[in-house]
Amino acid sequence: MLPEGLDQQPISHIARHISLMGFNCVRLTWATYMFTRYSNLTVAQSFMNNGLHDAISRIEKKNPHLLGLTVVKAQWTVIKELGRHGVMLVLDNHVSEPMWCCGSNDGNGFWGDKYFQPEEWLEGLDIVAKIYKDLPMVIGVSLRNELRGPLQNQNVWYENVEKGAKTIHRANPNLLIIISGLNYDLDFTFLKQKPLNLHMRNKIVYEIHRYAFTKGQANWFLTQPLNKVCDTIKEEIMNVSGFLLRGANAAPLFFSEFGGDQTGMDPSSNRFMGCILSFLADLDLDWAVWALQGNYYTRQGVPGMEEPFGMFNYTWNSLTSPQYHAKLQLIQQKLQDPKSKKPMYHLLYHPQSGKCLTIAPNNVVYASDCIGASRWSHNGDGTPIRLTGTSLCLTASREGLPITISTNCNEQSTWKLASNYQLSN
């Protein structure tokens, strides 16, 4: 019930580095029972109850002021420090019973499960919304993470989502209300037939999750052409949740979890990342990458377990993979602005590396950091890709040779989309 890493580094150090990495928001998980049952428990007592005496000693060195605080006050202190560094917070109701998430039969998956009773859940939402009413950097509360399990039911979903949204809105009308679908935050198809009965203008956000292993698809990335896999997954996402971005009841879609093994040891994760980054860049969605933590105080009974998906390394003093972090820098920028009066342009993006196509002063074409990348125009299949503000076009002289730029915008300078993932000359 304490945010991870506070036995490894001072909270000010962690908050500063989150900001320096280019992140402007943290999706911070919380457990219902922390506020409804354990609110008077101190951090020291919580750690002693779990036999984490070594972690207590480390916290005493790095963040001694936290040990005597209640778990609720300690979380407030961490959130306050993040806000001081310009980092916003989305508070995610991850579970009811504080434990590792998520399994279909862990008792935390759907209303009516062992640890997930509707009235106590609503009580927790009310408490959290009120506690953070005076901290403007807390911008939203998600109703529940990854609804799942055998009790899933659409009618129950509608009833409780509407109650939860109204509870948060009454307690703190400044908050965004973030709503997850069914089947581990994948599926909103039922909203095509019956929208939610909520009238909260500019307050409702829907969230979705995706990983290489989602729905047992990890092997697809190893056995099928990447273009085909990527197109299939993007089409599926749009069918089951992306449709929410359009139509009479259009609403924001928050891609609140994706990620991969940052050690580089999982080929399916590596290929998935390029696919999902191109999807996020194309739609300019807001997103959160799983995860920040390099390790855990305890996870599934194992003290100090390492997190291979974590941005930080085990001791939280540097990045696990600067290359992985670099891939995120394009989608950390605003890529689309419907209010802009400037002409539209394209970036040529290589999501597997996170780099963009740039023209050097000597007209050499190279891949580089996407900040300051060259701007291009393209009028559709069979037309040239032109370097904005010049008479130059992207040209493939012949197969096997690097692309160049040329003033001869003929057949070798015409391009089409071979898939959602790559161009073809």
What percentage of the chain has pLDDT greater than the value 90? 89
pLDDT (average), residues 238-242: 97
Residue 91 has pLDDT above 90, yes or no: yes
Higher pLDDT among residues 298 and 343, named by residue: 298
In a domain, 60, yes or no: yes
pLDDT (average), residues 233-259: 95
CA distance 272 to 409: 34
> What pLDDT score was predicted for residue 352?
87
253: helix, strand or coil: strand
In a domain, 3, yes or no: no
pTM of the entire predicted model: 0.94
In a domain, 6, yes or no: no
In a domain, 373, yes or no: yes
24, 105: one domain: yes
Q: What are the pLDDT digits (tens) for 268-296?
A: 999 999 999 999 999 999 999 999 999 99
Identify whether the C-beta of residue 109 lies closer than 8 Å to the C-beta of residue 99.
Answer: no
Q: Give per-residue burial for 176-214: e unless 16+ CB within 10 Å, then b.
A: bbbbbbbbbbbbbeebeeeebeeeeeebbbbbbbbbbeb
Residue 402 has pLDDT above 90, yes or no: no
In a domain, 183, yes or no: yes
Residue 205 has pLDDT above 80, yes or no: yes
Residue 313 has pLDDT above 80, yes or no: yes
Write out the DSSP string of 143-172: S-S---STT--HHHHHHHHHHHHHHHHHH-
> What pLDDT score was predicted for residue 419?
82
In a domain, 341, yes or no: no
Residue 144 has pLDDT above 90, yes or no: yes
**21 phi and psi, to 5 degrees?**
-75, -5
pLDDT (average), residues 128-146: 97
Residue 420 has pLDDT above 80, yes or no: no
> What pLDDT score was predicted for residue 245?
95
Q: Is 71 exposed, middle or buried (0-12, 13-18, 19+ CB in 10 A)?
A: buried
Identify whether the C-beta of residue 113 lies closer than 8 Å to the C-beta of residue 147.
Answer: no
Q: Which two tokens stand for residue 86?
A: 């310009």
Q: What are the pLDDT digits (tens) for 11-22?
A: 999 999 999 999
285, 403: one domain: no
CA 346 to chain centre: 24
321: helix, strand or coil: coil
> What pLDDT score was predicted for residue 309?
97
Residue 3 has pLDDT above 80, yes or no: yes
CA distance 234 to 176: 26
Identify whether the C-beta of residue 356 lies closer than 8 Å to the C-beta of residue 362.
Answer: no
Instruction: Identify any residues that bridge with 378 across adjacent strands, giving them in sequence order.
Output: 385
Residue 6 has pLDDT above 90, yes or no: yes
- What average pLDDT does the chain have? 95
Identify whether the C-beta of residue 115 lies closer than 8 Å to the C-beta of residue 103.
Answer: no
In a domain, 344, yes or no: no
CA distance 127 to 309: 31
Give the domain range for residue 317. Answer: 11-327
Which pLDDT band holds residue 230 (cuts at 50, 70, 90)?
A: very high
CA distance 128 to 132: 6
> What pLDDT score was predicted for residue 73?
98
Which pLDDT band holds residue 264 (cuts at 50, 70, 90)?
A: confident
Which pLDDT band holds residue 190 (cuts at 50, 70, 90)?
A: very high
> What pLDDT score was predicted for residue 46?
98
260, 372: one domain: no
- Nearest-5° angle of CA 156, CA 286, CA 89? 75
Q: What is the CATH number of the domain that holds 57?
A: 3.20.20.80
Identify whether the C-beta of residue 18 lies closer than 8 Å to the C-beta of residue 291.
Answer: no
In a domain, 5, yes or no: no
Domain count, the chain: 2
253, 356: one domain: no
Q: What are the pLDDT digits (tens) for 332-342?
A: 999 999 889 98
Residue 96 has pLDDT above 90, yes or no: yes
Residue 138 has pLDDT above 90, yes or no: yes
Which pLDDT band holds residue 412 (cuts at 50, 70, 90)?
A: confident
